[in-house]
Amino acid sequence: MRFIRPDINRIFFFILFPFILNACYQANSEKHLPYLGNRIYQDGDTLYHQIANFSFIDQDSSLVTNEDFDGKVYVADFFFTSCPTICPKMKSQMLRVYESFKDNDEVMILSHTIDTKYDTIPLLKSYAERLDVEAPKWRFVTGKQEEIYELGQESYMVTTAEDEFSPGGYMHSGAFILVDKDRRVRGVYDGTKEEQVDQLIRDIPLLLKEYEEQ
Amino acid sequence: MKNNKIAFLQLCSTLFLIVFLLNCESRQKQTEDSRENFSDLKQKQYYIEGKRLYKIHCSNCHMDEGEGLARLIPPLAQSDFMLSDISRTICIIKYGIAGEIDVNGVYYNQPMPGLIHLKDIEIAEIATYIYNSWGHNEGIISIPQVKEALKSCNKPTLPNQQ
């Protein structure tokens, strides 16, 4: 009997170990998402970086402005339909986000084309239809090219530019940017990597929960 | 009492080992299955190199398992369009394609840029990979076959061509 005891303890430890790990993981997943970008401290208040005003047209020729995202969290990205490099991979990953939050009206997706010359509204419409996705949940927008580039660089903090040396003629990041209900950037994920998109899908409910608690 | 517990522990560890080994074996079997048809060493080489090239040049759009993307990008895996005409596929790899095509009863209309800089051997390797993956079993696609096919291609006019 005396020789067996330590063994039993050890066995208990091994049985309990996954649960302990799981508990640690759970505690970790209750994290608060960070606020990204520059902060301004003014009169004792902290002003977080916010997405600037924008005005675009979507695949259904509807006007899209910040007001459409009032009371919503959304995921933004930049792409172009004829993109031969990372876009299809990004779109296949964004489809997973779309499917995961299909029935949640508080979550939206905003894809900006960076090739406004070629990506006309009918082309964006056909692109969305062929992906089997619909507005207003997932809006594909076009507008003034400079406005889209500036918004990408300044507000969403990602690279978007015309570049003759890049395949397809445009240089852009594959980032998915998570924006909260107050226009603040709360996460940036690599939209070409499945694990990072898994993280995004886990983070969105956390962000929504913040607003429930308020 | 003591013996019972030891016996129980032994039973547990044996079961664990059996499950573990079974798992290993089935995995090994899977990888062997897809390779054993390759009697020819040259075909194996083409296949392996083709897989590497596929990852670089093709998988961004056609995806790792050749599944494509919704109704935007057609699948290669079990694609009737691809399987019915190897020469046409060789041309598409080199020169791209534009306009509507019917793949397994679904219409796709996304222009594909050509990979004009690829050498004939690289096209042969990619073709060998895609024609011997995902349940396809067409054997090696040789360099002479690629050269022959490239003699009579319909070169498309692509939008946004660089």
Rounded average pLDDT per 10-residue block, chain A, 214 residues: 60 66 56 89 89 96 96 95 85 96 96 93 95 94 94 88 70 88 95 95 96 82
Phi and psi at residue A142, to the nearest 5°: -130, 165
**Would you state the pLDDT for residue A30?**
63
Cα Rg of chain A, angstroms: 21
Among B4, B12, B72, most A C-beta atoms within 10 A, so best to mutate, is B72
Convert the pLDDT of each residue in B95-113 to its tens digit.
999 999 999 999 999 999 9
Chain A residues lying within 8 Å of B100, measured CB to CB: none
CB proximity under 8 Å: A 64-83 to B? 81-82
Residue that the structure tokens 């084309």 belong to: A113
A4 vs B: CB within 8 A = yes
Give Cβ neighbours of residue A63 (< 8 Å, ≥ 6 apart): A55, A56, A57
**Would you state the pLDDT for residue B32?**
47
**Would you state the pLDDT for residue A178?**
97
Higher pLDDT, residue B160 or B103: B103
Contact between chains at B1 and A1 (C-beta distance less than 8 A): yes
Q: Please, which pLDDT band fits residue B9 given cuts at 50, 70 and 90?
A: confident
Higher pLDDT, residue B53 or B12: B53
**Would you state the pLDDT for residue B4?**
72
Please answer whether residues B62 and B72 qualify as being in contact, where contact means their C-beta atoms are separated by less than 8 angstroms: no
**Would you state the pLDDT for residue A44?**
87
Stretch (H or E) spanning A142: strand A138-142
Tell me the pLDDT of chain B averaged across its residues.
86
% pLDDT > 70, chain B: 77
Residue B21 has pLDDT above 70, yes or no: no
A88 vs B: CB within 8 A = yes
Question: What is the chain A residue with the closest CA to B57?
Answer: A85
**Would you state the pLDDT for residue A108?**
97
Q: Please, which pLDDT band fits residue B114 given cuts at 50, 70 and 90?
A: very high
Q: What is the spatial distance between Cα A193 and Cα A210, in angstroms, rounded to a whole number?
A: 26
B71 vs A: CB within 8 A = yes
**Would you state the pLDDT for residue B162?**
41
Higher pLDDT, residue A76 or B39: A76
Among A130, A132, A133, A170, most B C-beta atoms within 10 A, so best to mutate, is A130
Q: What is the mean pLDDT of residues B140-154?
A: 96
**Would you state the pLDDT for residue A184?**
95
**Would you state the pLDDT for residue A213?**
77
Among A8, A59, A89, A96, most B C-beta atoms within 10 A, so best to mutate, is A89
B119 vs A: CB within 8 A = no
User: Which candidate from B60, B69, B72 shows the least CB-CB separation from A86?
Assistant: B60
Please answer whether residues B142 and B124 qualify as being in contact, where contact means their C-beta atoms are separated by less than 8 angstroms: yes
Q: What is the spatial distance between Cα A187 and Cα A198, in angstroms, rounded to a whole number?
A: 13
Question: What is the chain B residue with the closest CA to A8?
Answer: B5
DSSP line for A43-77: TTEEEPPBPPP-EEEETTS-EEEGGGGTT-EEEEE
Is the model's pTM score more than 0.80? no
Chain B residues lying within 8 Å of A168, measured CB to CB: 113, 160, 162
What is the token pair recorded at A16? Answer: 């309990």
